[in-house]
Amino acid sequence: MDANNNPADGCEYRCTPDGPDACDGKDNDCNGLVDDKDPGLAFPANFCSQVGECGKGPGGSTHAGWETSATFPVCTVPTGSPAVTAPAWICNYPATVQLTAPNQIVGLETWCDGLDNDCDGIVDDSYASVLGKPCTDPGSTAVGACQRTAISKCQADKTLPAACDFTSSPPAATPTDEICDGIDNDCDGLVDESWDNPAGLTQCGGHDCLGVRDDIVHVSASGAPGGGYYIYKYEASRVDATAATPGASAARACSRAENGSGGAVLPWRSVTWNQADAACRAAGLRLCKAVRAGGVATSDEWGFACEFGQTCSSSYCPYACTYSAAACNGLDMNLGAATACGPLSGCATVGDLDTASSSDQLFDMSGNLAEWTDDRATSWIPAELPPGLAPRRRSTPRAEGLSTASSMAWRVTSRTPSLPHLLVSGHRLPAPAPPPERRL
């Protein structure tokens, strides 16, 4: 092979063609050009990944098939190789690609930098399940609301694992009395407990932390079943209920007009008797009790509270003796769905259930949702209602317009006011009511 067509200057060398020029440091086609100096050099196809950081190379290739690719193969000796090493095709990946060797992308990236370093389409694979999620201080022993929370983020050093970033997190909360919200407000490891903390535990604002105070009414009027009981002022709601959704938690039942954020709450609807019973027991209460003889109610806590104070001869409504289509939330008003607690002032009882109190009205005893009682039967049974539902209006043909079998609610009662540390349980027995003031 005469490299410059001058046989007299010694630039000749023996060359045996063995095919198109390849990336191997040899003049394979004997044209005097080696590797990338030969415009006929055959570039490999589908050689370099274009996914994630792998697709962020310098671009600018003029070789067929790679003109539009950000990363492309380059015929070169790998960096750090001995001088006698033959060249090879090396993808010009940027430094953000995590490699174990030239062209060898790590199987699972270990860097945490917000980038897809292993080019598999997933950013920060090893930490994807925690990044951006709430996290807590691993060095803290605090629990509940007192446990400081932050967001898990990558650290400045990408080789370090993701960690909680408290930079913009508020300081940890201090213990407060329990409210029915699904949060351990008093930071004692218990959520929505009904009993007060005994002396010696962490205090709330200088006093022993109080348990949940559901909004209840003491039914102590003359003739009250069992001589008196406590009943939820509002229909039972879930701990995570809002004005827009009834929530999803089945931890326990609550009686309140507002949630922990000050917003109205929807009642707990579409519930079975077993679910209602379990939620009541979790709150330290029980369903309203009814006693029957020959199918006739002889004692009925729900019914007594609903009709007390009325002097009607028939067709009792909690708000009057005469039915009013506009008094409560029902099909007569074309609402067709439960509304937040106490939306209509006319849908409340009028009897003085507790002679020692002036704030003893019960809300939504008519309209909104039908309610379970402990014996799974109605207080007074109009033919239009399915068994197990306490009717919203007694013995009236319009009852079915105010409740549906698919939208059941309930109230719970207790024979005794709650006592600190009192733990009693049992089917159809007086249950430990939450600290004074609660109802289902």
CA of residue 9 relative to chain centroid, distance = 84
Residues 154 and 226 in one domain: no
- Here the tokens at position 349 are 């009882």
pLDDT at 293: 84
pLDDT at 103: 93
Burial of 67: CB neighbours in 10 Å, binned 0-12, 13-18, 19+: exposed
59 lies in some domain: no
Residues 268 and 407 in one domain: yes
pLDDT at 416: 41
Residues 160 and 269 in one domain: no
391 lies in some domain: yes
Q: How many domains does the chain have?
A: 2
155 lies in some domain: yes
* 384 Cβ contact partners less than 8 Å away, ≥ 6 residues apart: 397, 399, 400
Supply the range of the domain harboring residue 232: 213-440
d(CA 197, CA 260): 20
Residues 139 and 228 in one domain: no
**Cβ pair 146, 190 in contact under 8 A:** no
Residues 146 and 239 in one domain: no
The CATH number of the domain where 412 resides is what?
3.90.1580
The backbone torsions φ and ψ at residue 276, rounded to the nearest 5 degrees and listed phi first, read -65, -45
Q: How many CA atoms lie within 13 A of 185 on its CB side?
A: 22
b/e sequence 417-435, b meaning 16+ C-beta within 10 Å: bbeeeeeeeeeeebbbbbb
Compute, in degrees rounded to 10, the torsion defined by CA atoms 90, 93, 95, 101. Answer: -40
60 lies in some domain: no
399 lies in some domain: yes
Residues 350 and 294 in one domain: yes
Residue 415: what residue type? R
Place of tokens 């909004």: 215
204 lies in some domain: no
Residues 161 and 270 in one domain: no
pLDDT at 3: 58
Per-residue pLDDT of the chain (440 residues; tens, 9 = 90+): 555 566 666 666 677 787 778 888 888 878 788 777 777 788 888 899 999 999 999 999 888 889 999 999 998 888 888 877 889 999 999 999 999 999 999 999 999 999 999 999 999 999 999 999 999 988 888 999 999 999 999 999 999 999 999 988 888 899 999 999 999 999 999 999 999 999 888 899 999 999 999 999 999 999 999 999 999 999 899 999 999 999 999 999 999 988 888 888 998 888 888 998 999 999 989 998 888 888 777 888 988 998 888 888 776 788 888 888 778 876 666 555 778 866 677 788 888 898 888 778 898 887 778 788 888 764 443 333 334 444 333 323 233 334 333 344 555 555 443 322 222 221 212 233 333 332 33
pLDDT at 57: 95
280 lies in some domain: yes
The backbone torsions φ and ψ at residue 147, rounded to the nearest 5 degrees and listed phi first, read -80, 115
pTM: 0.67
CA distance to 127, 270, 389, per residue, from 131 (Å): 6, 37, 48
**Cβ pair 217, 228 in contact under 8 A:** no
81 lies in some domain: no
Residues 259 and 145 in one domain: no
